[in-house]
Amino acid sequence: METQRRDVTLRFLAQPVDVNFGGKVHGGSVMRWIDQAGYACAVGWSGHYCVTVYVGGIRFCKPIVVGSLVEVEAKVIYTGRTSMHVAVDVLAGDLKDQAFARTTHCLIVLVSVNDHGNPTPVRPWVPQTQSEVAEQEYALKLMEIRKDIEGEANRIQP
């Protein structure tokens, strides 16, 4: 059986086109990078086209400045029947001093789809280490929190 990758890292320089009015990289640019890394990770795991169905818990921890080397790390931390939960961390730093820090974190849920756009099963990911078990527990906990939030949102909608 072919080995499927559960992670991917995208690397590039933050460019002037990514800057907001405050002189830092725009949050929308960071969210686009997160979606791209999540997509690449999910396709690498599933072998199928994937669509993003949820992005949540996004936390902007530190700004990114132009010229920083940006690393967007994505990895599968839970699989459902057709879905993959992908944790994404964005790190950035100055190439000269090699000081990199986490700037953003979030969780994305993507669904694998066939050529007709219908959900298609994915191979289960099974944690092998204590760290991986903790990652999967994190995904499951966030799934329960999302259910509570969705229930509340449905309760107050007209």
CA distance 37 to 90: 10
Token pair listed for 39: 């997509």
What is the per-residue pLDDT for 112? Answer: 98
All structural domains of the chain, each given as residue ranges with its CATH number in brackets, are: 7-125 (3.10.129.10)
What is the per-residue pLDDT for 3? Answer: 58
What is the per-residue pLDDT for 1? Answer: 42
Mean pLDDT, consecutive 10-residue stretches, the chain (158 aa), reads 80 93 92 97 97 94 95 98 98 91 97 96 96 96 88 74
* The model's pTM: 0.91
